[in-house]
Structure 1
Amino acid sequence: MKQWKNSKEDLIFSLDIGTRTIIGIVGKYTEEEFNILAYSIKEHSKRNMYDGQIHDIDGVTEAVKEIKDELEGKLGTSLKKVSIAAAGRSLKTCKVRVDKEIGSNSEIRRNMVEVLELEAVQKAQEIINNDEEQNRLKYYNIGYTVISYYLDDNIMNKLEGHKGDKIGVKLLATFLPQMVIEGLYSVISKSGLEISNITLEPIAAINVAIKEELRLLNLALVDIGAGTSDIAITKDGKIMAYAMTSQAGDEITEALCKKYLLDFNDGENLKVKLNSQEVHEFADVVDIQHKLTTKEIVESIYETIESISSEIAEKIIEFNGKAPSAVFLIGGSSQMPGLKDCIAEKLGLPKERVSIRDTSFIENLEGMDPSINGPDIVTPIGIAVEGATQRYENFIQIRFNDEEVRIFNTEKAKVSDILVLTGYNPRYLIPKLGEHFIYFINGERKTIIGEEGNPAKIYVNNKTGNLNTILQDGDIVEIVKAAQGEKRTPYLSECIPVEKIVSCNNQNYNLVRDIRINGNKVEGNPQLREGDRIDIVEVKSVGEFLEFIDLKIPFTNILVNGQKANYNTLLKESDNITIIENRTIELVINGEEKVIEHNKDEFIFVDLFDYIDFDLSKPRGNLILKINNEVAEYMAPLKNGDKIEISWSK
C-alpha cells in the first residue's frame, strides 16, 4: 500500500453520499495504517437523490448534518473538513469520430491534430447534452482516449508530418455533470463543512480495491449497486474508460417479487439473505408460506441474473475492445449467488478471474467493524483513504478569460480540457485566410487567395503556453483569438502581363496589344477593385504576329528561337523570331527573260538548275554553259541582266 502523507489534522472525515444511504467515516493515521475511529450510516428519509444526483439539497443537507452531529458526539470533537466523491453512475461516456478536410498541400502539424481532437471531444459533449432530454445537464469532459487516427479514411497511428486531403480521429470521451459537483459543494457548505478533497467513486474504489502495482494490468472494476452497475477499466496504470449499465440489484429484487408475489421490501430482504442463508422461509402477499433453498431461488430467477451479467460483459467489451485480464466486483448486489460466475462465463474468463472485493483486500486498515466489511463498504473506505492521502485535488479552480471555472484534475489537466468544459470554439485557435479577391480575365473567373492570419496566443499565468500546458489550482488562462489574414488587393501587373516583348530580326515588339478594365482602355499599372473585368488582346501565334507587323516583303522561312516555325506556332515572352526574306534575280536564259525568286545571299550558276527544266541526268553531247557569251563555271556568280546559254553540242 502507498505511503501515507502526514496530514495537518489528525482526523480524516469522509462522506459517501449515495442514492439510498449516506455513510460517514472518521479515521486517523497511526504510522502506516489508516485507523477507523467511528462511522455512521443514515438512510434518506425520502427520495432526495436519484441515480447519484442530488435533487433535494436541503433534504440531503439534513442527513449530512445528522451524521456530522452523531460522529462529533462519538468522538467528542468538532469536524470542519470532509472528503467526498461524485457518483460513478453520474458519468457519461461517448465514442465519436470526427473528420476534417485540409489542404492537400499542407503538412499536418501537431496543433492541427490537437484541434481535431478538441472538436471530437466537443462533438461528444454535444451528443451527451442532446441525450439528456429531461434534465439538460451541463456535462464537461474529465478525459478522453484516442482509439485511432485516419488519413484519407485510412487508419494511422500518427498524423503529424503526413499530407492528405482529410484527417480524422475516433476517441472515447468521459463526461461528468457539472450539476453533480455543484450540488455536492452546496450540500457540504450548507452543512457547515469545507471540502478538503473531492474524487470520483470509481477512482476511490479502485485505489483501495486494486493494488497500485496491479493497475498496470487491463482490469475492470464493477460496482453493482441497486439502480446501476458502474464500470471502470484500468490499463497502463490509469483509468482508461468508464461505463454504466442500467441493470443491477433492483432487477433481481423485482424478479423475486414477481416470482414469489412479494412487496418490494420483502423482496429486498430475501435478496440480501440469499448470500448468507441456505434455506429461506417466507410468506407471499396472499399469505402462502414458502420454504426454498438458495439454489432453488437462484435457479428460478437465473434469467434475470444472466441478463444483468450479459449487459455488464457487453459494456466491458464495448469500452475495452476485448475481455480484460480480470474483473473485480464491489457493491452490495455483487454478492448475489451465481452472478460472479455468470459474468465470468459471458466474458469467456476462468471463474477465478472474476472475484468479489470486500474490505479484507484493503491493506493497512484497522478499526473496521466486522458487521459492515462487505463489498458495499469498499467505496466509502476508498473516499476516506483518498482524502487522507491528499495526493492531489481532484477538482481545481482555474480563471479562464476572466471567468472562474472548476475542472476535474486528472493530475494532467490541460488547457484543452478548459476549452472543452467551457465550449470554446476550436476554430478560434486556427487563423483564417483573408477573404479571396475575385476578378475576371476575358470572362474567366480568377481568384487570389487571402493572406494567412496570425495563430491564437495562449497564456498561462502571463507566460506563453499551448493546448497541452498542464494546469495547477489557481492558474490564470487567457486566449487571444487567432486573427484573420488580410485580403490582397493586387495591381494589374500581378494578374496579367502588361508587356510581353519578343524580338524579330533584331527589333522588339510588345505582343500585348490592348488592355481594358470594365471596358475602359488602361494606361500604366493601376490597382484593381473586387470584381474587375479585364479584357486583354494579345498576339498569340506566328500567324497573328505576321498580321500584326503587316509584313509586305516576300519570305521563305520563319524561325522561332532557331527552330523552324509555322503559322500556328504559339509565341511567348522573350521569343526570338527570324524572318528569312525572299530575293529575286532577272536573267535572260536561252533568249527568254526569267525572274527567279530565291533566299540565297549569292545566286550562282549551278543554282539555275533548281529553277529551269533542263535534265542533266541524260547527256546528249557536250554541255555548253555561257554567261554573256563567255564560257561559264558552275560556281560563277550571277547578277541581274546576265545572258545565260545552256545547251548540248552535237
Structure 2
Amino acid sequence: MENIKFALDIGTRTVIGIAFTLDEDKIKIVDEEIIEHKKRAMMDGQVHDIQAVSEVAYEVKTRLEERLCTKFDRVSIAAAGRILKTTKVLADLPLKDGQVIDRDFINNLELEALSKAYSQINTEDLEEKFYCVGYSVINYFLNDYLMTNLEGHRGKKASVELLATFLPQSVVDSLYSVIKNIGLEVETMTLEPIAAMNAVIPKEYRLLNLALIDIGAGTSDIAITKDGTVVAYGMVPFAGDEITEAICHHLVVDFNTAEEIKLSLNTNKKTYKYTDILLNTKTVKLSEIKKVIEPTVEKLAELICQKIIELNGKSPNAVFLVGGGSQVVKLPEFISSRLGIPKDRVAVRGIDAIKNVIYSGNKLNGPDCVTPIGIAINSINSPGSFIVVKVNGKEVKLYNSGKQRVSNALHIAGIKPQNLFAKSGKGINIKINGQERRFLGEAAKPSMIFKNGQVTSLLDCIEDGDEIVVNFAVDGRDAEVLLKDVLKEGQMAKVNGVEMGLDYKLSDGDEVEIIELKFNEVKEEDFIYVVVNGEPIKLQNRQEGYIFVDIFNYVDIDINSAKAVRLLLNDRDASFTDRIKDGDRIIIETHQ
C-alpha cells in the first residue's frame, strides 16, 4: 500500500499508532495499534525512560508495518500540554509628559513583558532552554488603574499583565530521541492540546474564546484559544485516576477492577458484579457508584474551572472536553455551573465530532481517540515543527505555533525592548528678561523593523525563512543652548546676576538679563528698517547686507518646534537665502 502516513500518540499509559491516507479532502484511517507501556516509562506525559518507551513505540510501528506490508520512514508526534511551563508577569514603561499612548508604545510594552517572562522562566531553570509557544494579555493598567484599552490615553506609567507559555527543549529532545531509536524521522511535531483542537474545533470557531480540556488518567490539560490561536495552557494534577481511586476505597477493590466499574457507568447496565480484594463476590448498583464519585467529580470540575479563570481571566464562550476522563457522569453539568455558562456550551467530543475522517474500525471510539487523530490531521496542514528566521543576519529557531510574531524572534535574538524605544532629549527652561522660554531637546530617532525588505511591526506574524532587519532607535540629544544663541547684535547679558561670555552654556532654570549696548557715534544712515509680522526692526547697515535667515537673530520666533513654517517677503513666498533690503515687509508664520 502506497502513500501511507504514520501518526504516533505517546501517552502516559499507552502508545497509539495510526496509519492513514488522504482521500481527497478527508483522512482515511487504514489501521491502528494500541499498546500499553510495560512499566512506568512515562510520567505526566514526559519521557522518563527513553529505551522503554522506544521499545513500545517500535512494537506499535512494526505491527502496523507487518499488517500493511509497508515501511514507515517519517512520523508525526505531539508533546503533552502538561509539560508546558506557564508564567505570569507584570511589566511597565514610563510615559513622558503629554505623551499619547499609540500602538507602537503598546507593542513595546508587551515586548518588555515577554522579555521579563523569558527571564523569569530561565531563572527558574538555568540549564534549560525554552521555546515560547504563545502568550496572552490579561490586563492593561494606566497609573496602576485597570484599563480595557491603553491606546489614546495619557499618564505617567502604563503596565501590562501577561501570561506566557513555554515548551522545554529537553521534552522535545527526549521525544526526538525515541523517534530516532525506532528508525524514523519526525515529520511534524505539535502540542497535544493543538492536536485535539484540530480534530474537534473547526478553524472558523477559534476566533472565539474557547477552552479545551483533555482529561487523562493523571492530569487534566487545559488550552485556551482566542483570535484564531492557542494563547494559554495549564494543567490540573487531578483527573480520572482520582475517580477510580474513590471507587477503590468504597468497594475495597483493586485499581483495574475499579477502572472497569467506572467505564461501565457509561453503559446501559444497572448493576455490576465484582470480586473485592478479600475474594468476596458482590453486586453493586451503578446508581450507588455515581453517588459515591459525585464529590470527586465536583472537585475535578472546581479545579478545572479555577485554572480556566486563572489562565483566561474570565469564563470562556464554550468548553470542549476530550480524553478518557471526560466521560465521567455529571462533569459537564458541574463545569457549566461553576463557570456560569449554559449547559449546552460544555460538550464532550469524540470521534463522531471529527469531520473529514473515514474510519470503519472499533478501537478508536471515544474521547480518548481525539488526540491521535488530531496529530494525523495536524500533519496534513502543518508545514513543520519549527521555523527558522534571520534577525540581523543571525538564525533564530522558533516553535511553529502557527502565529509566531516578530516580537518573539527579536527576543530570542537577544534584542532588548530598550533598543526599540528611544526618548527625545531633555529640554530646558530659561527666563530671559523675566519671560519664560523653553528650548526643546532633539527628537528621538525611532527604530525601524523590516521583514523581507518591507517595513513591519512587532505584532506581524512571521514564517519560515523570513529575514528581519532591525535599525535600533536612537535617543535624542539634550537641548544645548549657548548664551550667544539668545543674544542679538549689540547685546550683552548677565546670567543669574553674573556677566558671562558668549560661549557660556545655559542650564535649566537660568535667568538671563539682556543689556543693550549703546554706540554714540552711530548715525541714522547707518541703519536699515524692515517690518517683521507688523513690528518695525532696526538693523545696522553692513557692507555684506542681510538675507532672510538673518532676521531670526532679531526676533523671538522658535521655528525648531514648529511642524510647518511659511516665509513671506513683500507678500510673496520667500526662502531663507532671499536678500533683505530697507523697507521690506516680512511675515513668518509657524504652525504647531
**Same-fold status (TM-score > 0.5):** yes
Match of 1:27 in 2: 20
Change in Cα spacing, 1:459 to 1:238, as seen in structure 2 (3 Å) is: closer
Match of 2:350 in 1: 358
Contact in 2 for aligned 1:146/1:172 (Cα 8 Å): yes
Match of 1:18 in 2: 11
Is 2:112 the partner of 1:119?
yes
* Separation (CA, whole Å) in 2 of partners of 1:511 and 1:458: 48
Structure 1 residue 528 displacement after superposition: 5.1
Contact in 2 for aligned 1:218/1:325 (Cα 8 Å): yes
Contact in 2 for aligned 1:141/1:420 (Cα 8 Å): no
Picking from 235, 238, 243, the partner of 1:252 is 243
Change in Cα spacing, 1:49 to 1:492, as seen in structure 2 (3 Å) is: farther
Contact in 1 for aligned 2:16/2:35 (Cα 8 Å): yes
Match of 2:503 in 1: 526
Is 2:362 the partner of 1:385?
no
Letter of the 1:371 counterpart? K
Picking from 328, 341, 359, the partner of 1:336 is 328
Structure 1 residue 280 displacement after superposition: 2.9
Q: Where does the alignment leave 5 or more consecutive residues of structure 1 unmatched? A: 1-8, 442-446, 502-509, 541-572, 575-650
Q: Name whichever of 467-476 and 89-98 sits farther off.
A: 89-98
Is 2:71 the partner of 1:78?
yes
Contact in 2 for aligned 1:80/1:192 (Cα 8 Å): yes
* Separation (CA, whole Å) in 2 of partners of 1:60 and 1:196: 19
What pairs up with 1:522-601 in 2 under 5 angstroms?
523=501, 525-526=502-503
* Separation (CA, whole Å) in 2 of partners of 1:112 and 1:184: 40
Structure 1 residue 379 displacement after superposition: 0.8
How many positions carry a matched residue from both structures? 512
Match of 1:347 in 2: 339
Match of 2:46 in 1: 53
Counterpart secondary structure, 1:301: helix
Deviation track 1:415-446 (CA, whole Å, cap 9, x = no partner) reads: 1121344554211212356799999x9xxxxx
Structure 1 residue 14 displacement after superposition: 0.8
Change in Cα spacing, 1:402 to 1:284, as seen in structure 2 (3 Å) is: farther
Deviation track 1:388-420 (CA, whole Å, cap 9, x = no partner) reads: 3x2544531223355443323344422112134
* Separation (CA, whole Å) in 2 of partners of 1:270 and 1:254: 11
* Separation (CA, whole Å) in 1 of partners of 2:495 and 2:384: 78
Contact in 2 for aligned 1:141/1:421 (Cα 8 Å): no
Match of 1:407 in 2: 398
Change in Cα spacing, 1:157 to 1:334, as seen in structure 2 (3 Å) is: closer
Letter of the 1:384 counterpart? A
Match of 2:172 in 1: 181
Letter of the 1:431 counterpart? A
Change in Cα spacing, 1:464 to 1:403, as seen in structure 2 (3 Å) is: same
* Separation (CA, whole Å) in 1 of partners of 2:275 and 2:490: 107
Change in Cα spacing, 1:402 to 1:183, as seen in structure 2 (3 Å) is: farther
Contact in 1 for aligned 2:493/2:512 (Cα 8 Å): no
Counterpart secondary structure, 1:371: coil
Q: State the TM-score, normalizing by the size of structure 1.
A: 0.68
Is 2:239 the partner of 1:271?
no
Deviation track 1:151-196 (CA, whole Å, cap 9, x = no partner) reads: 3345545434443322223344333333333433343344332222
* Separation (CA, whole Å) in 1 of partners of 2:174 and 2:40: 15
Structure 1 residue 114 displacement after superposition: 0.6
What pairs up with 1:166-245 in 2 under 5 angstroms?
166-215=157-206, 217-235=208-226, 237-245=228-236
Match of 1:417 in 2: 408
Match of 1:549 in 2: none
Q: Name whichever of 429-438 and 351-360 sits farther off.
A: 429-438
Change in Cα spacing, 1:257 to 1:498, as seen in structure 2 (3 Å) is: farther
Structure 1 residue 231 displacement after superposition: 2.2
Is 2:132 the partner of 1:141?
yes
* Separation (CA, whole Å) in 2 of partners of 1:280 and 1:422: 61
Is 2:285 the partner of 1:293?
yes
Match of 2:273 in 1: 281
* Separation (CA, whole Å) in 1 of partners of 2:237 and 2:419: 39
Letter of the 2:355 counterpart? E
Structure 1 residue 486 displacement after superposition: 4.7
Change in Cα spacing, 1:122 to 1:536, as seen in structure 2 (3 Å) is: closer
* Separation (CA, whole Å) in 2 of partners of 1:201 and 1:480: 38
Counterpart secondary structure, 1:372: coil
Letter of the 1:221 counterpart? L
* Separation (CA, whole Å) in 2 of partners of 1:228 and 1:203: 17
Counterpart secondary structure, 1:397: strand
Match of 1:595 in 2: none
Counterpart secondary structure, 2:18: strand
Change in Cα spacing, 1:498 to 1:20, as seen in structure 2 (3 Å) is: farther
Q: Where does the alignment leave 5 or more consecutive residues of structure 2 unmatched? A: 433-437, 517-553, 556-592
Contact in 2 for aligned 1:142/1:417 (Cα 8 Å): no
Letter of the 1:282 counterpart? Y
* Separation (CA, whole Å) in 2 of partners of 1:175 and 1:335: 30
Contact in 1 for aligned 2:229/2:402 (Cα 8 Å): no
Deviation track 1:434-480 (CA, whole Å, cap 9, x = no partner) reads: 799999x9xxxxx9987455443434345554323432212233434
> What percentage of residue pairs aligned between the two structures are identical?
43
Match of 2:97 in 1: 104
Change in Cα spacing, 1:210 to 1:153, as seen in structure 2 (3 Å) is: same
* Separation (CA, whole Å) in 2 of partners of 1:428 and 1:459: 15
Letter of the 1:176 counterpart? L
Contact in 2 for aligned 1:431/1:452 (Cα 8 Å): no
Contact in 1 for aligned 2:140/2:160 (Cα 8 Å): yes
Letter of the 1:409 counterpart? N
Give 4+ residue runs of structure 1 displaced > 6 Å after superposition.
434-439, 447-450, 496-500, 513-516, 531-540
Q: Name whichever of 360-369 and 24-33 sits farther off.
A: 360-369
Letter of the 1:101 counterpart? P
Letter of the 1:123 counterpart? K
Structure 1 residue 149 displacement after superposition: 3.4
What pairs up with 1:452-463 in 2 under 5 angstroms?
452=443, 454-461=445-452
Deviation track 1:40-87 (CA, whole Å, cap 9, x = no partner) reads: 223333333332223343443333333222222121111122222222
Is 2:23 the partner of 1:69?
no
Change in Cα spacing, 1:536 to 1:218, as seen in structure 2 (3 Å) is: closer
Structure 1 residue 349 displacement after superposition: 4.5
Match of 1:316 in 2: 308
Match of 1:584 in 2: none
Contact in 1 for aligned 2:28/2:359 (Cα 8 Å): yes
Counterpart secondary structure, 2:155: coil
Letter of the 1:164 counterpart? G
* Separation (CA, whole Å) in 1 of partners of 2:476 and 2:226: 45
Change in Cα spacing, 1:356 to 1:463, as seen in structure 2 (3 Å) is: closer
* Separation (CA, whole Å) in 2 of partners of 1:376 and 1:99: 43
Cα RMSD between the aligned structures? Answer: 4.0
Contact in 2 for aligned 1:513/1:539 (Cα 8 Å): no
Q: State which structure, 1 or 2, has the greater radius of gyration over its C-alpha atoms.
A: 1
* Separation (CA, whole Å) in 2 of partners of 1:308 and 1:420: 38
